[in-house]
Structure 1
Amino acid sequence: MTLSDDLNFAEHGGEFEEATPASPVVFGIAFTPKIIGILVGVIGIAGAAYIFLNLLMPAWESYQQQQAKNTELQAQVDQKKASIKQIDKVKDELAQATQQKVQVLGLFANEKTLDTLLLDVNRLVESGNTPTSINGVRAKLNKFVPVSQKPEPITDGSLGLLVDGKLQRSSINAEITGTYEQTQSIIRNIERLQPLLIINDYQVTLAPVESRSPLDKTPLLVGPAAINTSFQLQVLMPLSAEEIAAAAAKAAPVAPVAPVVPKK
C-alpha cells in the first residue's frame, strides 16, 4: 500500500466519522439534545397535569365543599342568633303589651267598682254643696236605678264594631238636682271617675221652687234657680275570655237547615 492510499484511507475515515450520528436514533428519529429537551418538557407538563388532575383537583373540590359547608353552618348560626334576638324582642313586646293591657283594663269598671258606684256618685253630688243660707239650693241625688240586674254584652255596634262581643255594660238611670254650676261640676267629676263611664239621654228641666214653710205656700227663690238633670249612666266592663267565646257563639248566624224531601 502506498502513501497515497494511506492518505485516501484517512480521508475516507473522516467521512465515516462524520456520517456516524452522534445522537441515538429511535424509529428513524434522531434524539438530539433539543428534541430530548422538548420531550422532557412535554413529560414534565404531562406529569404536572396528571398530578393536578389526580391529586390537586380532588383536594380543591374537597376544600370547596368544606368552604360551602362552613358558609352554610355560619348562616345557620347567624340565623339562630337572629332568632334568639327575635325571641327576646317578642318577649319584650309581650311584656309591654301585657302591661298596656293591665293599664287599659284599669280604665274599665269591674264588679267591685260597680257595687260602690252609687256611693261614689252620691259623694260627688254632696261635694257640690257649700255652706249657704237656709234658702240656698242644695244639690242632691234623686234617683239611681239600674236598668237591668246583670250587665249585658255590647253587640249592637253602638261603640264601634271592634268592641262588639268584647265589652259589656250596665245601664243606670240617674237624676240629680242642683244649680247649673253645681250640675256642671257634678257631671265633670262623674266623667273623671276611674271606671270608664258614658252619659247618655241627658235631659234638663227647671225644678219647682221650694215654699217658705209648710203653712206658707208662696214660692221663695233665693239665688240661682235649681234644675233637675236626668241621664243614663252606662258603666263599661270587659268580658272574660269565656264570656267573649259565649257571646261570639250567640252572635254567630245559624245556618239554615235544608228541608227533607220525602222519597217517592
Structure 2
Amino acid sequence: MTYTQDYSTTTIIDDFGSESNYPTAFGITFTPKVSGIGLGLLGLFGAGYVLVTFFMPALGKYLELKLDETTKQEQVNQQTQSTLQQKLQEAEGRLQQAEKRRATVLDLYANSNDLKTLLLDVNTLIQSRDLTFLNFLPQGDPVIIGDDSLGAGAKNKLKRQTYQLTIKGPFGNTHNFLRDLERLQPLILIKDLKTDLVQTEIPVNLVQSGNRAELKPQINDTLNTSMTLDVLLPLTPEEIAALAPPPPPPGGAGQAQKPEETPKK
C-alpha cells in the first residue's frame, strides 16, 4: 500500500518565515535582524564603556605626565642656563682679578724708563745718606731668566739687568741706604753684598760717666760697600713670542720619522 500526502510550498515557507518562532521580550521579537542590530548596539556600548572607563583616564594621566615632564624639562633648562651664566660670571670675575693682580705685579718691575733714571735715583739716595758714590757699572745687556733661580713661575717671563755698585760711608748711613734702596719702585735684588773697613785700626777713647765707662771711637767706622744689583724687567710680547716653540710642520704632528732604509746591495 502506498501512502501519499501533498505539502504546500506556501505552507512550508510560511512556517519558516513566521515571527512566532523567535523569542520575544519587552514587546520586541528578536529576529535575526533585530538581534544583529542589538548585538551591534551592545558592542558599541561596550566599546564606549571601555573607552570612558579605562582609555580616557589613562589618556588624561598620560597627557598630565607629559605636561609635567615638559614643565620640569623647562625648569631644568632654565636652571642649566642660570648655572652656566653664573659660572661664566664667576670665571669672568676671576679673570678680572687675575688681570688686576698681574697688573699690580708688573708695576713692581722696572721698565726701560726706570733703567734710564736708575743711576739718578741711586745717586739721590746716596747723597741723602751722606755717602760717597764710588762707581755704578752696568754688567752687559739685559738677560732673560731661563732657570728656576726666581721660581718656576718666573722662568722665561722675566729678564734682569745687572749693575755693580760701590759706595763709601759710615755703617749706620750705609744701612739706611740699603733700606731706601729696597723701597724704590723698580724691584731690585741685592746680591754679593760685601763691606770692608777703610781703616782697620780705629783709636778709641774711654769715657767715664759716674759709675759707667764707655768706649767711643775717635773716628767714624767708615766702610767700603760693594754690591750687585739685579733690576727685574718683564719680557715684551715680542720676546715672549720669540721664546715660543715653533709650530709643527703640516701633516707631521704626532708622527714619528721613519728611519731611512738601507739600500739593498
Q: TM-score, normalised by structure 1?
A: 0.66
Equivalent AA in structure 1 for residue 135 of structure 2: K
Question: What is the root-mean-square deviation of aligned Cα atoms in Å?
Answer: 3.1
Task: Rate the CA distance shift 1:85–1:68 in 2: closer, same or farther, 3 A.
Answer: same
Equivalent AA in structure 2 for residue 51 of structure 1: V
Moved more, 58-67 or 103-112: 58-67
Query: Within 1, Cα distance between the matches of 2:192 and 2:143?
Result: 18
Q: Residue 146 of structure 2: SS of its match in structure 1?
A: coil
- The answer for unaligned runs of 5 or more in structure 2 is 1-24, 27-43, 201-216, 247-255
Give runs of aligned pairs for residues 189-204 of structure 1, distance below 5 A: 189-204=180-195
Asked if the contact 1:165–1:248 (Cα under 8 Å) also holds between the matched residues in 2, the reply is no
Query: Are 1:62 and 2:63 matched, yes or no?
Result: yes
Q: Residue 249 of structure 1: SS of its match in structure 2?
A: coil
Query: Are 1:148 and 2:140 matched, yes or no?
Result: yes
Query: Are 1:223 and 2:219 matched, yes or no?
Result: yes
- Shift of residue 260, structure 1, vs aligned partner: 7.9
Moved more, 241-250 or 95-104: 241-250
2:104 matched residue in structure 1 = 103
Query: Within 1, Cα distance between the matches of 2:173 and 2:226?
Result: 14
Query: Within 1, Cα distance between the matches of 2:258 and 2:193?
Result: 46
Asked if the contact 1:154–1:163 (Cα under 8 Å) also holds between the matched residues in 2, the reply is yes
- Shift of residue 246, structure 1, vs aligned partner: 2.3
- Shift of residue 47, structure 1, vs aligned partner: 5.6
1:73 matched residue in structure 2 = 74
Q: TM-score, normalised by structure 2?
A: 0.66
- Shift of residue 159, structure 1, vs aligned partner: 1.1
2:239 matched residue in structure 1 = 243
2:159 matched residue in structure 1 = 168
Give runs of aligned pairs for residues 59-138 of structure 1, distance below 5 A: 59-129=60-130
Task: Rate the CA distance shift 1:256–1:239 in 2: closer, same or farther, 3 A.
Answer: farther
Query: Within 1, Cα distance between the matches of 2:125 and 2:189?
Result: 16
Provide Cα deviations, 1:15-34, integer angstroms capped at 9, x if missing partner. Answer: xxxxxxxxx69xxxxxxxxx
Out of 168, 172, 177, the residue aligned to residue 181 of structure 1 is: 172
- Shift of residue 173, structure 1, vs aligned partner: 0.8
Q: Which has the higher strand share?
A: 2
Provide Cα deviations, 1:198-223, integer angstroms capped at 9, x if missing partner. Answer: 011111122259xxxxxxxxxxx963
- Shift of residue 48, structure 1, vs aligned partner: 4.7
- Shift of residue 146, structure 1, vs aligned partner: 0.8
Provide Cα deviations, 1:136-177, integer angstroms capped at 9, x if missing partner. Answer: xxx12211111113x111012211222111111111111111
Query: Within 2, Cα distance between the matches of 1:232 and 1:109?
Result: 16
Asked if the contact 1:196–1:235 (Cα under 8 Å) also holds between the matched residues in 2, the reply is yes
Asked if the contact 1:153–1:247 (Cα under 8 Å) also holds between the matched residues in 2, the reply is no
Query: Within 1, Cα distance between the matches of 2:69 and 2:93?
Result: 36
Query: Within 2, Cα distance between the matches of 1:205 and 1:258?
Result: 64
Q: How many residues align?
A: 200
Query: Within 2, Cα distance between the matches of 1:245 and 1:68?
Result: 54
Task: Rate the CA distance shift 1:176–1:166 in 2: closer, same or farther, 3 A.
Answer: same
Q: Residue 229 of structure 1: SS of its match in structure 2?
A: strand
Query: Within 2, Cα distance between the matches of 1:201 and 1:257?
Result: 52
- Shift of residue 74, structure 1, vs aligned partner: 1.1
Query: Within 1, Cα distance between the matches of 2:77 and 2:57?
Result: 30
